Amino acid sequence: MDTISKPFVKIIECPRDAMQGLKTFIPAAYKAKYINALLGVGFDTIDFGSFVSPKAIPQMRDTADVLSQLDLSETNSKLLAIVANVRGAQQAISFEEISYLGFPFSISENFQMRNTHKTIAQSITVLEEIIDIAHKANKEVVTYLSMGFGNPYGDPWNVDIVAKWTERLSKMGVRILSLSDTIGSASPEQIDYLFTNLIPSYPKIEFGAHLHTVYDNWQPKIAAAFHAGCLRFDGAIKGYGGCPMAKDELVGNMPTEKLLSYFTHLQVETNTRPLSFESAYNAALQVFVSS
């Protein structure tokens, strides 16, 4: 008898995103202890650190040190590091343990300048080089389409602009594209429309949802993305963090516990282990409350 296959959703846990805006510096040993707890949960990927300017993101200046203290012997989770330029990419590929290089590409000129100090045109050139560097090192690039659902800076935005950039990125060889609601402005209707139209049009691209949200408005956004066909979701425990380059007031990440609750209710497999997640959740409370 044929069995009906259930959908499987990848959960990407983002301690890097949760930590990067904190003013109090977290020592590498504390970061590593927390990330080691996350590695036991069963997340598909851990966005654990970044190779960017320490002046821009001082919290991540010890990423290499953190990496040296991670225990990867009993985990299937893969590691992702954010890079913003060729130099960062070259640093990242020198570590065999890193599988993914994440690159923040924005369709907002203002935000791209704030985030990477480059124009969109300059950033496209950098991304092309990073894709080439990564592929030669047998690593994959995860491209984040920042401000994918609108922006507060007055830059032009509409779904046609998002579609245009998706087409161009596809031709460049982007195989994982995460639509990012960097300031938490996306409506469920926008989320549904974009994923419903983009996913069938680009079957060779794995689309992800990097959604920011206020804590009590998470469910409609997850539901809209999932029912539109998205099977890759970024989260951070308790919704900690947010992009320090976006606005003065940070809009938190999608709470991982809400993602897991939602998909558990729907009996959707995520490969995560509840008891291990509870331990990691408690570890997060210690790391972030003390910071």
How do the domains of the chain map onto residue ranges?
10-289
Return d(Cα 161, Cα 256) in angstroms, integer: 30
Q: Determine the Cα angle at 92 with ends 91 and 97, to 5°.
A: 130
pLDDT for res 2: 45
CATH of 10-289, one of 3.40.50.1220, 3.20.20.70, 3.30.1050.10, 3.40.50.300: 3.20.20.70
Q: Which segments of the chain have a pLDDT < 70?
A: 1-5, 109-116, 148, 150-157, 242-251, 290-291
Contact 83, 69 (CB under 8 A): no
* CA-derived radius of gyration, the chain: 18
CB burial class (10 A; 0-12, 13-18, 19+) of residue 256? buried
Q: What is the pLDDT of residue 273?
A: 97
**pLDDT given for residue 244 in this prediction:** 47
Query: Which candidate, 168, 235, 236, 245, places its Cα nearest to that of 208?
Result: 235
**One-character DSSP codes across 172-185:** HT--EEEEEETTS-
Greatest Cα pair distance in the chain = 60
Q: Amino acid identity of 181?
A: D
| Cα–Cα separations (whole angstroms), residue 275 to 167, 235, 240, 244, 272 | 42, 18, 21, 32, 9
Q: Residue 216 has what pLDDT?
A: 75
How many Å apart are CA 200 and CA 24, to the nearest integer? Answer: 44
Rounded distance between C-alpha atoms, residue 253 and residue 138, angstroms: 29
Task: Output the CA angle 285-290-291, nearest 5 degrees.
Answer: 105
The neighbour count for residue 219, using CB atoms within 10 Å, is: 13
